[in-house]
Structure 1
Amino acid sequence: MTLRKAEVLFKDTAAGTLEETASGGTRFTYAKDWNTSIACVLPALQREHEWAQGVHPFFQHLGPEGWLREKQARTARIQEEDDFGLLLRYGADCIGAVGVRRFAGDKGDDVEVAEVTANPGRTISGIQRKLLVVKDGQTFTPAGREGLAPYIAKFNSERENLRTLVRNENLSLRWAAELLGKKEVNEFELANVAVLNEQALIVKRFDRTADGGKLRLEDFAQILNKPSGRDFAGKYDASYEDVAGVIKKHSARPEIDVSRFFRRLIVYVLVGNCDAHLKNFSLLETADGLRLSPAYDVVNTAVYDGFDQTIALTIDGKKPNLDAIAPKLLTDFGKSVGLTDNAIKLVFNDLRKAAKRAASIIEPPDGEAPDGFVHRYSEIVRGSCLRILGE
């Protein structure tokens, strides 16, 4: 068996190598003259980082899941399970500042990828149908191999019972922005994407600067070194206490970011988001250092029949049902992660006022049937607000 080797880039500069090992794992090695850590879990003081089985979780989580993974694997004629092969073909431009590419002159057995809806030369993590896109005037189109890719287009699921995902996330982000503040959620809009001729939620990437520069961005599955697993369940293998612990250890302003995280977690409960897993929290490079990134992937999952109604990660060792979460559980959690009684009360008071202001956002449209999407969405959110905020 030929063991493959790739060049690892940090902000488009060679920082080291990633190679397969004879035992079936991978090894990342920093370049001789490289002295800056490219990830929390890959400190530069340790020159080699080996993972016993499969691709190291930090790099594994750079790759796609679900729809885009199937499309990229099929287009390039790669096995869907081949994490290393997918990174070699599509990993040069990933979310965040780290990329993976073949060494110059190493063509391998590559099949030319010309299908633009496969985002040749780029990839993005996550299970939802999504693509990297660019904006030309008022038109969004799939990003090609070269140039900027400052937006992500997120589409409705092909599953019949999830055909409202775009509408759902647009509504959830609007509501969350009112409760958290506009700067606390990523920028978004609804638009049609050419080539696919399909409406999408377009989110502006916060890991790219206006001129296309790359910012370090690490999700908490990467920071906690959680393998994705065959069924991509590794992102659920943790607690919200673990999330707070990461913030305390790696954030440049941990006290502020723990409070932001606590406020965000309450909003996710209020909006019915049972899928706030490790990959939905990230640390972002700022002028001050790593900080909790804006909120993203906010969806009311409780509105869908058959979807797990328990929260994504544990609190106090348990995963309670959404409708069983009471103020005491959240208050006790806040105390357990180091927030004062006054800080916790302030969060609840702020959210109570903001929920009143946001009430019109989730008001069902005139003429919608009582069992319509917004009616069901609104019923869940209002019930949560009444139970948790008393409003």
Structure 2
Amino acid sequence: MIKSLTLHVHCQGHPVGRLEFEPKANAFSFSYDPAWEKQPDSFVLSPHISFEAQADSLVVKRFLENLLPEGRALDIVAHTHQVSKNNVYALIHELGKEPVGALSFSPDIANPAQYEALVPLRRPISNKELSSRIRDRETTPFPVWDGKVRLSVAGYQDKLQVLVEGNQISLADGSLASTHILKPESQNRNTPHMVANEHYCMTLASALGLIVAPVSLRRIPEPILLIERFDRQLVLHNDTQTVMSVRRRHVIDGCQALDLPVSMKYERYLGNGRDVRHIRDGVSYEKLFKLNTFNDPLAAKLAILRWALIQLLLGNSDAHGKNISFYVRGELLDVAPFYDLVSVRIYGKNIDQELALAFGDTFELDDVGAFDLADFAQRVGIPAALVSREMTRLAKAARTWAPKIAQLPDYSPDERVFVEEIVALVLKQASHFLTIAPQVPKIDPALLA
């Protein structure tokens, strides 16, 4: 009987450590390679898996499960490899070559030289093949290509990790890694034009001064969204399109930063039923702001504030703890570029509209007023005047940029009509911001206690 199993953990060919799993006890352990700790650019897996102390089994398991896809994508992975969805070790074993961040998990490659010896491999995808696969998603799971699951990033939506070189989209193997996340249109009839929705919201957020992952919209002829991976750095050939190598950067999401399981990515992780709505132990703005491992606390808190406010401006009720990430530098964190910015409110009652993270005690977008934002400021430990200032800045910029971005040539006529509806929502929210922003610093702190 096998007592324990081992996966070697590497970063760009350098040994980081060993992941041990005892199947019968369902117990995980992780130990860093002594040489890794001495590397000048080394980093911890997360603030809760430190160099100094051995992490508890459940801490390691929570870190690993947050690397995995969710929903139907997880069902596909489990079915394809004939393993239980609860078998975290087996899933990491199958998907560990290229998860989010800089780590690779392998049972075989214990020697960095073997990693370096791998040659860069590309498996080109033609527009015709990609179009066919998008149309056939009901019968052929989108993440499975050439009999192999090509998805090891978290989230519910159909997506694919791809290498983009100019107009050519490929699957990457060997020493190469993906450079982009590809998202086709949603199959959910309740959420039409999701590609245009995310493209517009991400582009607007960038224009408003937020640091976001660059996005582009292509047609093959179906619309696809390409999101540039911010956990990848490219070395390009002289022609500026051919990728010579891909350097991976380590990032973790909000759940990993807070040592919470994926099931607690919503603040009300048990739902909003009468008997459980008061339980709010999941990810919250307060928890994110009070992380004590920021490299630059002031810059990090300003970035998180802008991330919180843009959700109100866009009507993105589904901004949860896995929709924010952090670069890991040594043992400290920096806020990474933002992603998954969409307007959920635009879909109305077809989609749950409760805010994933509350402002004060308020989980309803329409109910967020000056008192709630003052309460929010006090709970997260930032000046109410700063909240007011950023609301005003974002609202004024939105009034300028929201209509302009809707006129980009990227959108089809139907998409443009849809995007104009988002513009109307954003302008309405911007007016609301400008009305209540001056009131936020005037709320008596004694009323918030």
Question: Which of these residues, 325, 331, 340, is aligned with residue 297 of structure 1?
Answer: 340
Query: 1:234 and 1:367 mapped to 2: Cα distance?
Result: 37
Unpaired runs of 5+ in structure 2?
38-42, 111-142, 236-245, 270-281, 437-449
CA, structure 1 residues 381+312, in 2 after alignment: closer, same or farther (shift >3 Å)? same
Q: Which residue does the alignment assign to 1:17?
A: 18
Residue in 2 that maps onto 1:240: 285
- Letter paired with 1:126: G
1:157-236 matches, cutoff 5 A: 157-181=186-210, 184-192=211-219, 198-211=222-235, 212-229=246-263
CA contact (8 A) 2:101 2:231 kept: yes
Are 2:115 and 1:86 equivalent residues in the alignment?
Answer: no
- With over 3 angstroms needed to count, the CA separation of the structure-2 counterparts of 1:377 and 1:134, relative to structure 1, is same
2:53 counterpart of 1:39: no
Per the normalisation by structure 1, the TM-score is 0.83
Partner of residue 57, structure 1: 62
Partner of 1:110: none
Change (3 A) 1:114 1:179: closer
Contact 1:283 1:290 in 2 (8 A): yes
User: Which residue, out of 421, 430, 433, partners 1:385?
Assistant: 430
Give, in angstroms, the shift of residue 388 of structure 1: 2.2
Q: Is the 8 A contact 2:16 2:36 kept in 1?
A: yes
SS where residue 279 of structure 1 aligns? coil
| TM-superposed deviation, 1:302 | 1.3
Counterpart residue identity of residue 161, structure 1: N
Deviations 1:109-133 (A, max 9, x none): xxxx98258555x621111111111
Give the AA of the match of 1:10.
C
Compared CA separation, residues 137 and 76, structure 1 to 2 (3 A): same
Q: Is the 8 A contact 1:116 1:142 kept in 2?
A: no
8 Å CA contact retained: 1:364, 1:374: no
Q: CA deviation at 1:221?
A: 0.4
Quote the Cα distance in structure 2 between the aligned partners of 1:69 and 1:145. Answer: 24
CA distance in 2: counterparts of 1:220 and 1:299, whole angstroms:
18
Partner of 1:355: 398
Aligned with residue 270 of structure 1, among 281, 297, 313: 313
Of 145, 152, 159, the residue aligned with 1:115 is 145
| Cα distance, 1:118–1:240 mapped onto 2, change above 3 Å | farther
1:327, 1:258 → 2: CA distance?
20
Instruction: Give the whole-Å Cα distance in 2 for the aligned partners of 1:289 and 1:11.
Output: 20
Q: CA deviation at 1:287?
A: 10
Match of 1:5 in 2: 6
Q: 1 CA distance for matches of 2:13 and 2:167?
A: 29
Q: Residues 355, 329 of structure 1: CA spacing in aligned structure 2 closer, same or farther, 3 A cutoff? A: same
Displacement of 1:389 in angstroms is 2.4
Secondary structure of the structure 1 residue equivalent to 2:303: helix
CA positional deviation for 1:353: 2.0
CA 1:225–1:290: 2 relative to 1, 3 Å: closer
- Counterpart amino acid of 2:145? E
SS in 2 for 1:390: helix
CA RMSD of aligned residues (A): 3.3
Q: Contact 1:311 / 1:320 at 8 angstroms: preserved in 2?
A: yes
Q: Contact 2:357–2:363 at 8 Å: present in 1 too? A: no
Larger CA deviation: 171-180 vs 280-289: 280-289
Q: Equivalent of 1:314, from 358, 366, 387?
A: 358
One-letter amino acid matched to 2:181: I
Partner Cα separation in structure 1 for residue 216 and residue 248 of structure 2: 22
2:191 maps to 1:125:
no
- Cα distance 1:189–1:104, how it changes in 2: closer, same or farther (>3 A)? closer
Normalized against structure 2, the TM-score is what? 0.73
Q: CA deviation at 1:372?
A: 5.5
- Tell me, yes or no, if structure 1 residue 334 matches structure 2 residue 368: no
Q: Which runs of 5+ in 1 are unaligned?
A: 106-112
Q: Offset at 1:225?
A: 1.3
Distance 2:435 2:322 in 1: 31
CA contact (8 A) 1:119 1:142 kept: no
Partner Cα separation in structure 2 for residue 286 and residue 46 of structure 1:
18
Deviation string for 1:72-116 (max 9, x for gaps)?
A: 3333333333322121011121111222221359xxxxxxx9825
Q: Which of 139, 142, 150 is the aligned partner of 2:171?
A: 142
Q: CA deviation at 1:192?
A: 4.4
How far apart, CA to CA, are the structure 2 residues paired with 1:359 and 1:220?
28
SS at 1:213 equivalent: strand
Matched, 1:152 2:153: no
What is the CA–CA distance in structure 1 between the aligned matches of 2:179 and 2:50, rounded to whole Å?
A: 28
Contact 1:310–1:320, Cα closer than 8 Å, also in 2: yes
SS in 2 for 1:19: strand
- In terms of mean alpha carbon deviation, does 160-169 or 274-283 score higher? 160-169
**Take 1:235 and 1:280, find their aligned partners in 2: how far apart are those partners?**
16
The answer (yes or no) to whether the contact 2:190–2:350 under 8 Å persists in 1 is no
Q: Tell me: CA distance 1:30–1:287, structure 2 relative to 1, closer, same or farther (3 Å).
A: closer
Matches within 5 A, 1:359-378: 359-361=402-404, 373-378=418-423
* Pair 86,232 (structure 1): closer, same or farther in 2 beyond 3 Å: farther
Number of residue pairs the alignment of both structures matches: 371
In the aligned structure 1, how far is the partner of 2:219 from the partner of 2:146? 16
Deviation at 1:27, TM superposition (A): 1.9
- Report SS of the residue matched to 2:262: coil
- Whichever of the two has the greater Rg, that structure is 2
- Is the 8 Å Cα contact of residues 63 and 125 (structure 1) preserved in structure 2? yes
**Is 1:102–2:107 an aligned residue pair?**
yes
Give identity over the alignment, percent: 24
Cα-to-partner distance string for 1:221-266 (whole Å, 9 max, x where unaligned): 011111224x9869952211111112xx122111122012112211
Give the secondary structure class of the aligned counterpart of 1:149. coil
| Change beyond 3 A, Cα 1:381–1:59 | same
